[in-house]
Structure 1
Amino acid sequence: MRRNTSSGWGDGTTGVGWPGMVKSLYNYRLSDEDLISIGRLMVGFAMFESHLNYILFTLRGRAERDVIPSHPTELAGRKLKEVKKLMNRGVAPEIDSFWQEIRLSMAHALPARNMVGHGVLVYATDGEISFWSQSRLKELPLSSVLGAEKWVNYAIHAAFHAQQHLNPNPDGTVHVPQPLPDRPA
């Protein structure tokens, strides 16, 4: 298998990806590292949403677990608003501090996730790559999308910590295997 730096791994006949994959009609002009980072952004966001669902269900009460489905990613913004509303009822200060970190992370990560999921790639005359949303008439540079991966990872950590504090052990202790990492710059 030879390396195709403009569009990922390929053997020249099967296209991007593993052997046997259907050849793509497009040359995305993204490096392997770019494609991996975009993939990590999307998978990481799905993992974050899983933690967000758990936080939401815990705050609402276990009887209402099936009210907001866990699979539609277009509801992420709605879920964040709902958690914010429930947090206003009053929670322990450490949970609120994790929530503030989640909100900050999502300010960076959610627009990038939505643009990758619903936008299209556009190329400027100078060769710069961006994502374009026709419905919002907005453009987001590739560099902003790639920078969002670290914010999603940070949000996952903050959500995990909040989840653990919302559900302490029977003896009241909280199991958190490691401290929250440093906030991305």
Structure 2
Amino acid sequence: MFALLPIPNASEGRLALMTQQTTFSLEPNPNALDAATREALMRDPAFGRVFTDHMVTITWREGQGWQDAKVTARKPFSIDPACSVLHYGQEIFEGMKAYRGADGAVTLFRPLENARRFQASAKRMAMPALPESLFLEAIEQLVRVDQAWVPHGSGSLYLRPFMFANEVFLGIKPAFLASSRPPSLFSA
């Protein structure tokens, strides 16, 4: 387990969140739910139907690797109808939870194991591996920004990091080798 520290109020405009290896830009959600609405939703969250205000995206480009890490407003994204994920199901995900302790600190259970499984899944699906350190940084940044969604007392915030092949290509080959549309990692 590792503890997450409190962060400045994310509603105070655009700021950068520095980590040891990567700078995550922060684009606060201008339509974030107010505390009363969020608390009402969290009383009976109905798994898979209530979502936090933000998500993480990190883009991979051939010859450049993983870049453009950001915490941004959770929103739909569009993909080309010829993307590999739609035709070959080239997608991976992990599931993990953030808990709030009696002291108010937010912790994750064995996040390094999730990072290792995510890398193994990427390799198995012929996708670029996300470094463990970047996986952990992405999760930490998202939980820092949306820590108000981690319940006090019992309960947890479920996290779903995933990556999918958004390369426009119909045919069999490893993902993203000569991609004009880079893959992205999304975590919501």
Structure 2-normalised TM-score?
0.29
Higher strand share: 2
Higher helix share: 1
Q: Which has the higher contact order (CA 8 A, sep 6+)?
A: 2
Larger radius of gyration: 1
